[in-house]
Structure 1
Amino acid sequence: MNPILAMLKENNISDEKISELFEALTQNPLAAMGTLGQLNLPQEQVQLLMGQVMQNPSLIKEAVEELGLDFAKVEAAKTKLQQP
């Protein structure tokens, strides 16, 4: 299982909330950060996870695909964020 999804499940985050988080990620990554903050995850686990994602950004793609979502939407949202 993807380490992002595993960490969320270890912290008893429901499948519904996980899907909601990744749906937000595909539409607006900044909103996804707010959604992530509402999950009340231990800060040290979030920091560790962010470190893993920074070292291996494909983890997000793998998690999105594992959830059956469209990764192209993540890329489109990222492009939107980078525009002035």
Structure 2
Amino acid sequence: MNPIIAILKEHNISDETIHQLFQTLTENPLMAMNSISQLGIPAEKLQQLMGLVMQNPALIKEAVEELGLDFAKVEAAKAQLQK
């Protein structure tokens, strides 16, 4: 299991919420970060989660694929943020 998804599940985040979170990530990454901060994950685990993402961005792609979402949307959103 993807470590990002594992941390979310460890804190009793439902599969539906995880799927919605990654769907938001594919459409609006900034909104997804806001959503993650509102899940009630303790600060130290939230920091660990963000560290994973920063050190290994490929984990996002793996999680998106594991959830059956379209990674091309993530790439398009990322490109839009860089403009």
TM norm structure 2: 0.95
- Tell me what 1:47 maps to: 47
- Tell me what 1:19 maps to: 19
C-alpha separation between the residues in 1 aligned to 2:50 and 2:65? 19
Structure 1 position 36, deviation (Å): 0.7
Residue 18 of structure 1 aligns with an amino acid whose one-letter code is: I
CA contact (8 A) 2:4 2:59 kept: yes
1:5-84, aligned counterparts within 5 Å?
Answer: 5-83=5-83
C-alpha separation between the residues in 1 aligned to 2:57 and 2:33? 16
Output one character per residue of 1:19-74: Cα deviation in whole Å (capped at 9) or x when no partner. 11001100000010111112111110111121122111100000000000000000
Instruction: Flag structure 2 segments of 5+ consecutive residues without an equivalent.
Output: none
Residue 15 of structure 1 aligns with an amino acid whose one-letter code is: D
TM norm structure 1: 0.94
Equivalent position SS for 1:21: helix
Taking only aligned residues, the RMSD between alpha carbons, in angstroms, comes to 0.7
C-alpha separation between the residues in 2 aligned to 1:40 and 1:75? 28
Runs of 4+ in structure 1 deviating by more than 3 angstroms, as ranges, are none
Residue 21 of structure 2 aligns with an amino acid whose one-letter code is: L
CA contact (8 A) 2:29 2:78 kept: yes
Instruction: Flag structure 1 segments of 5+ consecutive residues without an equivalent.
Output: none
